[in-house]
A and B are shown apart, each in its own frame.
Chain A
């Protein structure tokens, strides 16, 4: 991945060089943006896009953070909570996109997180002739930086992207340094939903698992991958010190209601009322604010740690 990024960066530098040469020669008036190889292994380039459609909250956040907010015309449903996204057109849920819906925004660049769908619509959008960039999604720090680098190159904001990437590194390093001093790591359970008192927990290889680890906690739901229903007995066996949930929409539960569940009876979390609720896309989105979100979670998990 890293090697490919290096190649992409090199390629973009050459393009910028060509661009400057062209400008010097007075041949081109438009500033040349970069060319990237996207998650679909396609070469994508954009020229000073004015009508960008962003799909996926991390993509939207990064494009905003790179200073291109004024050129974004439409976003997806998951991006509606991104600061500054209010008032932009919503083209629907990222996994149920509509070809014509996206094209109706007359975009000149479509940036899509690779976990979007359906595949046939992504194919159709790519075939529509509008520059279409599929940005790889991975719930890791490296994954965030790949998104930043690719979007920075594509939007001709390489310097801003480099700075953003460096900021992200610094923020995570600062957090890791503090977390390294923690002796007793709290046992944490991420609860995705509590419908009908059945607990859906975040297992390993989930964004929630990564966030718990980054914040200096230990995920107790490690016997399975993904978000799955977990038995009350498993939780009773390893009682959590803290429970993390999302605080959006119907997923919001009161502390008393959550800890009334038999699975949490007698757990340290229930005793201290340690239920921490955070915005879903802030906590799990893996965008430019993830370091902040991880720090905020760390602050909740380690109230004594100066963060």
Chain B
């Protein structure tokens, strides 16, 4: 135990710099690959404006690939870091960003926007989808939080179960709306729910990065509290942690961040659940290291998934949710099978 734990504790010293290097390389690769053949050697010219790049290549790099690469990094990091925080908060390995109600609320708001919005407000509704999905996610979280809070104390078990109940209700309402939808609206919703970074713009990237910065600052303060929470709520309280404030801050930050991520990229599953697990298998579970490492690995994985999504069937494109599940599912299963003993102890 001692030797293994000691090794694990030091892993982050190598792991985090390694992840940073991989992320940097992946980002360059992401800008360099795509359906349009652009020579890597001409990239500096396009990026820094010195070479004789064609106008089309300029458009591809500046308004398609760069915002998309940044968005993939931000969304991947947001989902994975949110997952790490929630698993710590709920002390439950199955917790993922969907649990605080964000995803189900966003999905309901998205389908309502597509179906009802288009009937009553026309095409403009489609443009508002990111905003309504964000608001929908936030409202569900507030509702769930209110349900689970009695006399100034938030009960995590109630929140977990309440999340399931609210998920069932939103799913039923989503079903009603799907029944009301036209063929075209149904397809629009299907593709939204499979997730895609195809609509990346600089505006979206900028809005998500604001939430990301806010959440990262908040989490660096929360990290120690989350570590102590692992010992139990009462124990953490004895160690001087204000458990209620910790819960509130963690839930609000996750809801904001996941809501922002879902609103710009649709529902991308899997990353939030799996990335923290993968990391806990190889490194210290201390949140100070786990949260940044999860953000980095989440970004790397989503970037890789997006590169596959937009090149494998080029010039067409796969929904990224399919790729994350196809790549992540088997990897996760393999990690589980090779580490059964360690997980169970």
Contacts and interface: CB of A to CB of B under 8 A. Distances in A.
Given A92-B316, A98-B316, A117 B310 contact: no
B201 A101 contact: no
Given A91-B315, A92-B313, A104 B127 contact: no
B60 A118 contact: no
B326 interface: no
A118 B191 contact: yes
Contacts of B34: 100, 104
Contacts of A96: 191, 196, 198, 316-317, 319
B316 A99 contact: no
Interface string A17-52: 000000000000000000000000000000000000
A104 B35 contact: yes
A52 B156 CA distance: 57
Interface residues of B, number: 35
Interface in A103-118: 103-106, 115, 117-118
B315 A118 contact: no
A118 B188 contact: yes
Interface centre among A100, A101, A228 (most CB of B within 10 A): A100
A106 B37 CA distance: 11
A225 interface: yes
Interface in A215-241: 225-228
Interface in B326-345: none
B248 to A, nearest CB: 34
Contacts of A123: 199
A106 B181 contact: no
Contacts of A226: 181-183
Contacts of A128: 56, 59, 63
Contacts of A105: 315
A85 to B, nearest CB: 15
Contact of B59 (A90, A129, A227): A129
A95 B310 contact: no
Contact of A101 (B123, B196, B200, B317): B317
Interface in B186-202: 187-188, 191-192, 196, 198-201
B65 interface: yes
B317 A74 contact: no
B42 to A, nearest CB: 16
Interface of B: 34-37, 55-56, 59-60, 63-65, 123, 126-127, 179, 181-184, 187-188, 191-192, 196, 198-201, 310, 313-317, 319
9 tightest CB-CB pairs across the interface, nearest first?
A92-B316, A120-B199, A101-B315, A98-B317, A104-B35, A104-B36, A226-B182, A91-B315, A100-B35
12 contacts: A98-B315, A100-B65, A103-B59, A104-B314, A104-B315, A115-B184, A118-B188, A124-B63, A127-B63, A128-B56, A128-B59, A206-B183
Interface of A: 74, 77, 89-93, 95-106, 115, 117-121, 123-124, 127-129, 206, 225-228
